[in-house]
Structure 1
């Protein structure tokens, strides 16, 4: 079966550094797949905080919810490694956008990933339109807007 292919957008939305904690290590003595998803979540929250939002529950009148995720592992990461996570965005629609993650350490690319994020009303429990101001922030990154 062929591997998933992810093409990372060239533009950068946000960058941060996060260390691999001992609790991120699995029985293979390397970064666990579920821990990488947690580190991606942390990077996403740091990006939202850089925009002035406290969390994913309110991005200007709506929340965000993760619809799906794809991860391509390329190399191992180990306890204490400092991971550099670059976020990029593409395929912005009325209700959703694709958020890409380029995860590297000092020497190599560890993983590429993508999450599909949707605007969500936690009160109504349904997907709703992205707030205009948030959609404009995403669009300023040079992403494909439909």
Structure 2
């Protein structure tokens, strides 16, 4: 069975934030659970978008919807670990692109996980995918485009 492999260019990360693994994030195997990692990735995404002045919720009827999430785990994380989430964007297309994540434990430089989240812009009143707003695109002029 083929395994997922995520590798991103070093220069595409444009934001970072730290999150602490809570005791309630720990699963029965005594490490950070998959469901909690997804929540932490969502929090890092929300902080990233906020930092760049972007609202996920519908602004003038248009918002961002996550279309998929791929995550590869490289090491365990435990309660009270500080995790660094480096966030970037890549592979823009007419309607959206990818938000990428590199998650490390700075205390010992351990790579904990890599993730990629697809997104599109969505017009809520018309219930349709809509082209990426120019204002969003202009915040990330360095991002590559897919046709």
* TM-score normalised per structure 1: 0.91
Quote the offset at 1:52 in angstroms: 2.4
* Paired position in structure 2 for 1:73: 73
* Paired position in structure 1 for 2:45: 44
What is the CA RMSD across the aligned residues, in angstroms?
Answer: 1.5
1:13 maps to 2:9: no
Find the residue that maps to 1:80 and give its secondary structure: coil
Find the residue that maps to 1:143 and give its secondary structure: coil
Q: Residue 90 of structure 2 contacts residue 98 of structure 2 at CA under 8 Å; is this kept in 1?
A: yes
Query: Which residues of structure 1 form unaligned runs of 5+?
Result: none
* Paired position in structure 2 for 1:119: 121
For this pair of structures, how many residues does the alignment match?
143
Q: 1:100 to 1:133 in 2, by over 3 A?
A: same
Equivalents in 1 of 2:61, 2:139: separation in Å? 14
Match runs of 1:64-143 below 5 Å: 64-106=64-106, 107=108, 108-138=110-140, 140=141, 142-143=142-143
Q: 1:2 to 1:17 in 2, by over 3 A?
A: same
Q: Which runs of 4+ in 1 moved over 4 A?
A: none
Quote the offset at 1:60 in angstroms: 7.3
Equivalents in 2 of 1:124, 1:13: separation in Å? 32
